[in-house]
């Protein structure tokens, strides 16, 4: 299949998954799905390989294929549907219920449409089905093995009532399951339309090519990582003691091995992970580290091999409880993988909060701070890592539940210190208007950077009526009680000067973006000379960013169109300069061009010196190339790629031509 046809098919499959998600969210009754959007949708080929998934919940990424694998060998007919939530048959934890619908064109199986949604309650001893003290799976609610929910288009109403009869708010559970069936029907229709338009053979080829395309892109990015082993260590809080987590990440050529040998044995509580959840966390982290834009398919994860010894915390055996493994342990697994590759870590928890009684169940994962990047502060008040949900809006919360929002704000100053600060967490304070059961769970140690160079974020806090509670707590709220959750901040990060010193020339570009990057350099401690077309503009830029103008008057009156450097001498065509005042420790000097070339033209300009170094090509400044994030550093006459780690990457790659100073970059000494 040619590249254009492949991209058309990839777009069609992605659009079908997105439409499935829209149908599910718009049709659901519970706030968990319609407001927080704690759900995922995906399409699979006839062999059960995930071809495309909508950009929904990372923790569902690796587990959805395991669920389809549990039914792929069954007899299928048009209009059938299967339902399951068993964590050891492809589920994650019991509230995540998966509905799978085979898609047939005539008598031939085209593929599968699947949807997964977090249901607010699936039974069990406590509202929300997330008990703090569960020991076996049955303690957490109704366990649904792979079961045929519909046959030949006829829904088994008796089975549906039996399944939901053991859950709180059964009518809402049935409504959400019907919404999942509707989402699957939408995906099935779109697959059959593609088959009718392109032919079954072409659709099958497109699915295979999509998987291979994802594999090629992931392998190419893994190949850019230095070969070798990387170790990471963490702990998981388990009441009176901590459970060790160990990872050795080995990069070899185009493959990646993640070995969790040495992690704690299976836990007698509910922090256990089924293997599908561990895979989900690993796949999410690998996607972040390699190519976040690769189509989320089974092919993208072929180069990744995961070892988690059976019977360990990360590959538990049934019937071990798993309620917290899906939300807390999975977050820590993602942190391990990211930390092994030197990333600053986020809050490391989903900040679970559950309130309810026999009449209602409120469940939410709360946002927190993400770790800083090498070129920017970490984002604040976002769902980090394995959770990608929205919040429950205050209006919806107070309308649907007997709760009042007292405060919802950014937790200022909770991000870790560093050259780039970690993101801040949030404060969520709720007042109970009735008597409710309570369960709250968050990470108690502070978020950490993977390197000692950055500062840790503030740890999370649970506070009830002004009294601080443990990280994991369950109990009961009386009317008027106020529960306050302060979520952790992300880890900060210092600038790695070993990386900075390798960058000799960087291109900043024109206008506002170039000015902002010059200001970032200045804040990082560089002394920056900012170029612009006229002296007035250069001096205006300098004034706006705490800079000073040229220290020396020009030696001659420049002709129209001439440049001026930082000392006022004629330097060519098109710009004048002003030198910024550095802030903070001395890091080096940089010369930043703001005059003639927009950042989007940088790719065309940078490609040229590798073929013919020297003069800037005649119309290169007019050739726009918005794609690409790579950066090239020139050292000793050779061009080489270096790891994107600087705020200058956004205007990549750089080039400075000795024969055309209007294309000047920034020189770091």
CA-closest candidate to residue 307, choices 257, 246, 232: 257
- What pTM value is reported for the model? 0.75
For residues 503 and 647, membership in a common domain is answered with: yes
Yes or no: say if 453 and 496 are a contact pair by the CB < 8 Å rule: yes
Length of the chain: 669
573 part of a folded domain: yes
659 part of a folded domain: yes
What pLDDT score was predicted for residue 607? 39
With bands split at pLDDT 50, 70 and 90, how would you rate the model's confidence at 60? confident
Distance, first Cα to last Cα, the chain: 49
Identify which of 491-500, 554-563, 621-630 has the greatest average pLDDT.
491-500
> Which of 195, 217, 239 delimits the end of a domain?
217
Bridge partners, residue 234, by sequence: 245
Q: Average pLDDT, stretch 585-598?
A: 42
> Which of 198, 217, 236 delimits the end of a domain?
217
Yes or no: say if 387 and 57 are a contact pair by the CB < 8 Å rule: yes
What pLDDT score was predicted for residue 80? 97
262 part of a folded domain: no
For residues 509 and 530, membership in a common domain is answered with: yes
510 part of a folded domain: yes
Q: Is the pLDDT of residue 620 over 90?
A: no
Structure tokens at 487: 């979520």
DSSP 372: P
What pLDDT score was predicted for residue 517? 62
Residue 209 dihedral angles phi and psi, to the nearest 5°: -65, -35
CATH number at residue 619: 3.40.50
Q: Is the pLDDT of residue 140 over 70?
A: yes
Yes or no: say if 92 and 141 are a contact pair by the CB < 8 Å rule: no
What pLDDT score was predicted for residue 566? 34
Q: Is the pLDDT of residue 239 over 80?
A: no
For residues 14 and 118, membership in a common domain is answered with: yes
With bands split at pLDDT 50, 70 and 90, how would you rate the model's confidence at 656? very low
Q: Is the pLDDT of residue 37 over 70?
A: yes
Residue-by-residue DSSP string for 463-475: EETTEEE-SEEEE
- Render pLDDT for 514-536 as a digit per residue (tens, 0 to 9): 556 656 655 555 555 555 555 66
Q: Average pLDDT, stretch 321-339?
A: 92
For residues 482 and 520, membership in a common domain is answered with: no
Q: Which 3 state secondary structure label does DSSP give 610?
A: helix
Contacts of 223 (CB under 8 A, 6+ apart): 253, 254
> Is 656 or 322 the better-scoring residue by pLDDT?
322
Distance CA 270, CA 83 (A): 23
For residues 582 and 462, membership in a common domain is answered with: no
CA-closest candidate to residue 526, choices 509, 506, 512: 506
Q: Average pLDDT, stretch 381-408?
A: 91
317 part of a folded domain: no
For residues 419 and 501, membership in a common domain is answered with: no
266 part of a folded domain: no
Distance CA 499, CA 47 (A): 45
What pLDDT score was predicted for residue 132? 86
> Is 499 or 231 the better-scoring residue by pLDDT?
231
For residues 161 and 188, membership in a common domain is answered with: yes
Residue-by-residue DSSP string for 427-477: EEEEEESS-EEEEEE---SPP--SSTTSPPPPPPEEEETTEEE-SEEEEEE
Q: Average pLDDT, stretch 128-145?
A: 93
User: Quick one: residue 440, left, alpha or beta (phi over 0 = left, psi -120 to 50 = alpha)?
Assistant: beta
> Is 561 or 89 the better-scoring residue by pLDDT?
89
- Render pLDDT for 433-462 as a digit per residue (tens, 0 to 9): 998 888 777 666 555 554 546 788 899 999
- The domain tally of the chain equals 3
502 part of a folded domain: yes
For residues 485 and 561, membership in a common domain is answered with: no
Q: Which 3 state secondary structure label does DSSP give 593?
A: strand
With bands split at pLDDT 50, 70 and 90, how would you rate the model's confidence at 55? confident
41 part of a folded domain: yes
Residue-by-residue DSSP string for 43-69: EE-TTS-EEEE-S--GGGTTHHHHHHH
Distance CA 495, CA 516 (A): 18
For residues 507 and 488, membership in a common domain is answered with: no
Q: Average pLDDT, stretch 587-612?
A: 40
With bands split at pLDDT 50, 70 and 90, how would you rate the model's confidence at 636? very low
For residues 153 and 108, membership in a common domain is answered with: yes
For residues 170 and 31, membership in a common domain is answered with: yes
What pLDDT score was predicted for residue 567? 31
What pLDDT score was predicted for residue 599? 41
DSSP 622: G
Identify which of 1-10, 44-53, 122-131 has the greatest average pLDDT.
44-53
Distance CA 83, CA 176 (A): 13
Calculate the average pLDDT of the chain. 78
> Is 177 or 376 the better-scoring residue by pLDDT?
177
What pLDDT score was predicted for residue 255? 96
What pLDDT score was predicted for residue 540? 64
Q: Taking the CB of residue 263, how many other CB atoms lie within 10 A of it? A: 25
Q: Taking the CB of residue 512, how many other CB atoms lie within 10 A of it? A: 9
What pLDDT score was predicted for residue 429? 96
Q: Average pLDDT, stretch 147-163?
A: 96
Q: Is the pLDDT of residue 505 over 80?
A: no
Domain containing 549 equals 497-667
Residue-by-residue DSSP string for 235-285: EEEETTEEEEEEEEEEEETTEEEEE-TTPPBPPSSS----HHHHHHHHHHH
The share of the chain scoring above pLDDT 90, in percent, equals 56
Q: Is the pLDDT of residue 562 over 80?
A: no
Bridge partners, residue 474, by sequence: 439
For residues 139 and 55, membership in a common domain is answered with: yes
CA-closest candidate to residue 431, choices 482, 474, 466: 482
């Amino acid at each position: 299949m040619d590249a254009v046809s492949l991209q058309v098919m990839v777009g069609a499959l992605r659009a079908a998954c997105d439409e499935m998600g829209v149908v599910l969210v718009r049709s659901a009754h519970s706030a968990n799905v319609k407001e927080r959007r704690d759900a995922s949708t995906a399409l699979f080929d006839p062999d059960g390989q995930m071809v495309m998934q909508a950009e929904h919940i990372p923790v569902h990424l690796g587990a959805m294929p395991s669920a389809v694998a549990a039914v792929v060998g069954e007899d299928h007919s048009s209009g059938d549907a299967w339902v399951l939530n068993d964590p050891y048959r492809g589920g994650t934890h019991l509230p995540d219920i998966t509905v799978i619908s085979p898609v047939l064109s005539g008598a031939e199986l085209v593929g599968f449409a699947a949807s997964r949604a977090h249901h607010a309650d699936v039974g069990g001893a406590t509202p929300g089905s997330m008990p703090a003290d569960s020991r076996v799976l049955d303690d957490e609610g109704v366990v649904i093995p792979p079961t045929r929910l519909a046959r030949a288009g006829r829904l088994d109403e008796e089975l549906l009532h039996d399944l939901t009869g053991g859950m709180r708010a059964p009518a809402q559970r049935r409504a959400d399951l019907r919404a999942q069936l509707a989402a699957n029907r939408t995906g099935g229709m779109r697959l059959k339309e593609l088959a009718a338009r392109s032919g079954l053979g072409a659709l099958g080829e497109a699915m295979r090519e999509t998987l291979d395309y994802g594999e090629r892109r992931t392998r190419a990015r893994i190949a850019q990582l230095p070969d070798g082993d990387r170790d990471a260590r963490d702990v998981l809080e388990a009441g009176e003691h901590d459970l060790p987590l160990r990872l050795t990440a080995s990069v070899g050529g185009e493959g990646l091995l993640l070995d969790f040998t040495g992690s704690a044995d299976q836990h007698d509580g509910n922090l256990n992970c089924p293997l599908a959840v561990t895979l989900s966390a690993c796949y999410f982290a690998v996607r972040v580290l390699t190519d976040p834009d690769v189509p989320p398919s089974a092919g993208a994860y072929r180069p990744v091999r995961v070892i988690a010894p059976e019977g360990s915390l990360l590959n538990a055996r049934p019937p071990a409880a798993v309620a917290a493994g899906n939300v807390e342990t999975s977050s820590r697994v993602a942190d391990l993988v990211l930390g092994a590759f030197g990333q600053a870590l986020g809050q490391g928890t989903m900040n679970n909060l559950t309130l309810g009684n026999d009449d209602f169940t409120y469940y939410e994962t709360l946002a927190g701070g993400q770790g800083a990047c090498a070129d920017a502060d970490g984002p604040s008040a976002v769902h980090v890592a394995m959770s990608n949900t929205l919040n429950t809006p205050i209006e919806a919360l107070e309308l649907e539940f007997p709760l009042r929002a007292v405060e919802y704000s950014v937790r200022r100053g909770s991000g870790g210190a560093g050259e780039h600060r970690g993101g801040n967490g949030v404060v969520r304070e709720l007042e109970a208007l009735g008597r409710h059961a309570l369960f709250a769970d968050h990470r108690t140690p502070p978020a950490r950077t993977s390197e000692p160079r950055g500062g840790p974020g503030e740890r999370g806090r649970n506070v009830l009526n002004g009294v601080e509670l443990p990280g994991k707590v369950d109990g009961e709220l009386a009317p008027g009680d106020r529960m306050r959750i302060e979520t952790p901040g992300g880890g900060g990060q210092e600038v790695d000067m070993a990386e900075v010193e390798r960058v000799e020339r960087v291109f900043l570009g024109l206008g506002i973006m170039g000015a902002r990057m010059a200001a970032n350099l200045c804040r990082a401690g560089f002394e920056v000379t900012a170029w612009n077309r006229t002296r007035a503009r250069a001096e205006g830029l300098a004034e706006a960013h705490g800079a000073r103008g040229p220290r020396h008057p020009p030696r001659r009156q420049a002709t129209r169109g001439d440049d001026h450097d930082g000392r006022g001498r004629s330097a060519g065509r098109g710009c004048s300069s002003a030198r910024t005042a550095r802030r903070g420790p001395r890091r080096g000097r940089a010369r930043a061009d703001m005059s003639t070339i927009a950042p989007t033209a940088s790719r065309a300009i940078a490609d040229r010196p590798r073929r013919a170094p020297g003069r800037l090509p005649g119309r290169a400044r007019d050739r726009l190339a918005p794609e690409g994030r790579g950066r090239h550093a020139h050292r000793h006459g050779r061009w080489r790629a270096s790891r994107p780690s600087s705020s200058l990457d956004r205007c990549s790659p750089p080039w400075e031509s000795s024969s055309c100073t209007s294309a000047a970059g920034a020189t770091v000494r």
